[in-house]
């Protein structure tokens, strides 16, 4: 689930980067300047989490509508105008919190009226999560649906025979926030740091590209077709880069 969505999001991000016009100056060689990499890596990580944790598929490009798996039967998570009772769409609320994460942390120590925009975004996210929890509880017996982190928590909670083991909806929301929304920042920062380090060390870039060419020999050019079972084990170079 995470693997496939990461491939789709990364492919779409690179397509956007490649669509940018080339430019040059007296200080730089001709090429594309990607000034949005920090924001783009955050979006990538957040969208992977949206699918893996909540089952909501967000396209990297905002020009393509978001969608929830067809079995939900409502459009409360779609892009466009926010649904009644919300100030932002699901995408908008997640990305607002992502871009204002320090303010989100500060909000726990400040009155909500000090940062009303952040408080409203958090209220939106909690409302969306409660709607998802209600949906998962109502469809808990449908084992044919694609699973996600939320469905696993709700299903485990429902399987417990001890009432003391039950999680309240607010406890589930809190856990999901920590696991996913709060956790995406470290992933985005690691990817950004790796990109900067490659830019600063051209010799490492050459080594990295050479190793990738070797490890991806015979693999489909379209990365969205890569299968985890056959491709991931080949990719020792990216794993080496990310842990170094």
Say whether pLDDT at 206 is over 60: yes
Residue 180 is predicted with a pLDDT of 75
Query: Quick one: average pLDDT of 52-62?
Result: 85
Which of 39-53, 138-152, 195-209 has the least mean pLDDT? 138-152
Residue 95 in any domain: the answer is yes
In the three-class reduction of DSSP (H, G, I as helix; E, B as strand; rest coil), residue 31 is classed as: strand
How far apart are the C-alpha atoms of 190 and 37, rounded to whole Å? 12
Count CA atoms within 13 Å of residue 37 on its CB side: 14
Residue 72: pLDDT band by 50, 70, 90 thresholds? very low
Quick one: 166 and 97 in the same domain?
yes
Say whether pLDDT at 238 is over 50: yes
Cβ-based neighbour number of residue 56 at 10 Å: 24
How many domains does the chain divide into?
2
Residue 208 in any domain: the answer is yes
How far apart are the C-alpha atoms of 61 and 139, rounded to whole Å? 30
Residue 69 is predicted with a pLDDT of 42
205 or 67, higher pLDDT: 205
Residue 115 in any domain: the answer is yes
As a whole-number percent, the residues of the chain with pLDDT over 90 amount to: 28
Say whether pLDDT at 70 is over 70: no
Residue 221: pLDDT band by 50, 70, 90 thresholds? very high
Which of 180-184, 191-195, 234-238, 240-244 has the least mean pLDDT? 180-184
How far apart are the C-alpha atoms of 166 and 222, rounded to whole Å? 44
Say whether pLDDT at 93 is over 50: yes
Residue 196 in any domain: the answer is no
In whole numbers, what is the pLDDT of the chain averaged over residues?
82
Residue 191 in any domain: the answer is no
Q: Pick the last residue of a domain from 162, 186, 210.
A: 186
Query: Quick one: average pLDDT of 123-148?
Result: 82
Residue 81 is predicted with a pLDDT of 83
Residue 62: pLDDT band by 50, 70, 90 thresholds? low
Q: Tell me the residue range of the domain where 144 lies.
A: 2-186
Residue 190's closest CA among 66, 19, 74, 44? 44
How far apart are the C-alpha atoms of 49 and 61, rounded to whole Å? 16
Quick one: 174 and 211 in the same domain?
no
For 195, residues 6+ apart whose C-beta sits below 8 A from its C-beta are 37, 41
Quick one: 131 and 221 in the same domain?
no
Quick one: 227 and 111 in the same domain?
no
Residue 195 in any domain: the answer is no
Residue 194 in any domain: the answer is no
Residue 157: pLDDT band by 50, 70, 90 thresholds? low
Matching residue, tokens 């200080």: 27
Quick one: 69 and 182 in the same domain?
yes
Say whether pLDDT at 67 is over 80: no
Quick one: 125 and 150 in the same domain?
yes
Quick one: 35 and 120 in the same domain?
yes
Is the separation of the CB atoms in 40 and 13 below 8 Å?
yes
In the three-class reduction of DSSP (H, G, I as helix; E, B as strand; rest coil), residue 238 is classed as: helix
Residue 193 in any domain: the answer is no
Quick one: 97 and 209 in the same domain?
no
Residue 70's closest CA among 130, 1, 146, 8? 146
Query: Quick one: average pLDDT of 170-196?
Result: 84
Helix H segments across the chain?
Answer: 2-18, 37-54, 90-99, 101-107, 116-138, 149-159, 169-176, 184-200, 202-215, 228-231, 236-243
Quick one: 174 and 219 in the same domain?
no
Quick one: 176 and 218 in the same domain?
no
Name the DSSP class of 87.
S
Quick one: 46 and 91 in the same domain?
yes
pTM value is 0.81
Query: Quick one: average pLDDT of 107-132?
Result: 83
Quick one: 225 and 119 in the same domain?
no
């Amino acid at each position: 689930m995470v693997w496939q969505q990461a491939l789709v999001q990364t492919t779409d991000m690179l397509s956007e980067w490649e669509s940018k016009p080339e430019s040059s100056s007296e200080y730089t060689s001709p090429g594309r300047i990607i000034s949005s990499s920090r924001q783009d890596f955050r979006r990538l990580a957040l969208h992977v989490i949206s699918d893996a944790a909540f089952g909501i598929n967000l396209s990297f490009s905002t020009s393509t509508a978001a969608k929830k798996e067809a079995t939900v039967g409502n459009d409360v998570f779609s892009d466009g105008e926010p649904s009644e009772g919300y100030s932002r769409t699901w995408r908008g609320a997640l990305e607002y919190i992502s871009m204002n994460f320090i303010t989100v942390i500060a909000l726990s120590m400040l009155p909500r009226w000090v940062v009303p925009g952040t408080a409203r975004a958090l209220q939106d996210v909690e409302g969306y999560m409660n709607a998802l929890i209600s949906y998962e509880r109502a469809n808990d017996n449908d084992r044919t649906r694609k699973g996600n982190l939320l469905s696993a928590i709700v299903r485990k909670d429902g399987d417990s025979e001890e009432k003391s083991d039950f999680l309240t909806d607010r406890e589930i929301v809190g856990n999901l926030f920590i696991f996913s929304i709060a956790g995406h920042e470290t992933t985005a920062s690691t990817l950004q740091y790796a990109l900067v380090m490659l830019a600063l060390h051209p010799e490492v870039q050459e080594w990295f590209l050479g190793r990738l060419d070797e490890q991806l020999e015979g693999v489909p050019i379209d990365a969205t077709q890569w299968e985890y079972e056959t491709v991931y084990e080949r990719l020792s170079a990216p794993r080496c880069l990310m842990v170094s």
